[in-house]
Amino acid sequence: MHMFHSTGFHLSLSIFTFIGPGRRLIVDGLKSLFKGSPNMNTLVGLGALSSFAVSSVAAFIPKLGWKTFFEEPIMLIAFVLLGKNLEQRAKLKAASDMTGLLNILPSKARLMVDNDAEQSSFTEVPCGTLAVGDYILVLPGDRIPADGLVKAGRSTVDESSLTGEPMPVTKIAGAEVSAGSINLNGKLTVEVRRPGGETVMSDILHLVEEAQTREAPVQRLADKVAGNFTYGVMALSSATFMFWSIFGSQFVPAAIQQGSAMSLALQLSCSVLGNCLPMCSWSCHTHCSAGWYFVRCNERTSFTWWGCFGEICGS
C-alpha cells in the first residue's frame, strides 16, 4: 500500500498513460493547436501535460516545496476516454441491432407460377431472386418477404416491428404490405413492388449507416465553438495563475499554509485547464450519440417506425 502511494509509482503510471491509452488523444489535441484550430482534445492535452510537467518538477526538485499531483492527468484522460468508449459502444450497438432487424426477413418466398393471382401452385425461391412484378403467396404465420401490394385475399398483419402499433392491421386487395410484417390469419397474394435490398427495412439500415458517418448539427456547433472556448479556458487558467501567485497569499493566507504560493498557483491553473472540459463533453456525447441516428433517419422517411426504435433501445 505504501508503494501505491509513492511518488515514483504515480510518475510511472502517468508516463504509461501518456504513451499508452492517452497518446492518440494528446497528439490529436497538439496537432490541432499547432494548426490554429484547437478542439476539446487540445484542452485535455494541455491540462494533462501541464499537470504532469509541474508535478515532475516538484518530484525531481523537492527543495522547491511544491506538491505533486500526478493523479490529475491520469484521471482526466481516463474520464475522457471512458466517455469516448461509451459513445463508441452506443454506435456499435445501434449498428448491430439494426442489422438484427434485417434478420427477421425470411430467406425464402413462395413464388406464384405464371404470376397468376388466381393460381394456387407455387414454388419456393430465395428472397434475393424476387423481381418487381412477381406474385408471391403469404400463408398465415409467415413473414412477408418483400414490400408489395395485396392482389387477392384478406388477412390481418402484425406491423409492430415497423410501426410499433400493437394492434394488427387488416389487409385486403389494394393494400400495401411491408417486408418483415407477420401475416396472422389469412392467405394473401402479394405483387412485389420493392424486393431484396429495396425494402423499407433495408432503407432504415442504410439511413442509420449514413447517419453514423455524419456529424450531428450540435457536434458541428461544438467543434466551431471549441476554438474560442479553448482560448478562453487558457486565458482563465493564466488569470488564475497570476491571481494566486501575486494576490493569493494576501486574500486567502490560510490556503497556502502548507506550501508555497507558486505551487498552489500552478496546481489551480492546471486544474482549470483540466476540469473545464470533461463534464460538458461527456454529457453531450452520451446524450447525442444514440439519438442522433434516429433523428437523421426520420428526416428521410415518410413512415412511422417507432417499433424499430423501441427494439433498438430495449423499451
Per-residue three-class SS string for 225-249: HHHHHHHHHHHHHHHHHHHHHHCHH
Hey, what amino acid is at 174? G
Instruction: Please report which confidence band the pLDDT of residue 256 belongs to, taking 50, 70 and 90 as the band edges.
Output: low
- Domains by residue range for the chain, with CATH: 7-99+213-281 (no CATH), 108-195 (2.70.150.10)
What φ, ψ does residue 168 adopt, rounded to 5°? -60, 155
Instruction: Please report which confidence band the pLDDT of residue 258 belongs to, taking 50, 70 and 90 as the band edges.
Output: low
Q: What is the pLDDT of residues 137-162, one digit of tens each?
A: 999 989 988 899 999 889 999 988 77
Q: To 10 degrees, what angle do helices 278-300 and 71-102 make?
A: 20
Mean of the pLDDT values across residues 63-91? 81
- Residues, the chain, total? 315
Summary mean pLDDT of the chain: 76
Cα distances (angstroms) measured from residue 32 to each of 5, 40, 81, 136, 249: 35, 10, 18, 58, 37
Q: What is the pLDDT of residue 282?
A: 46
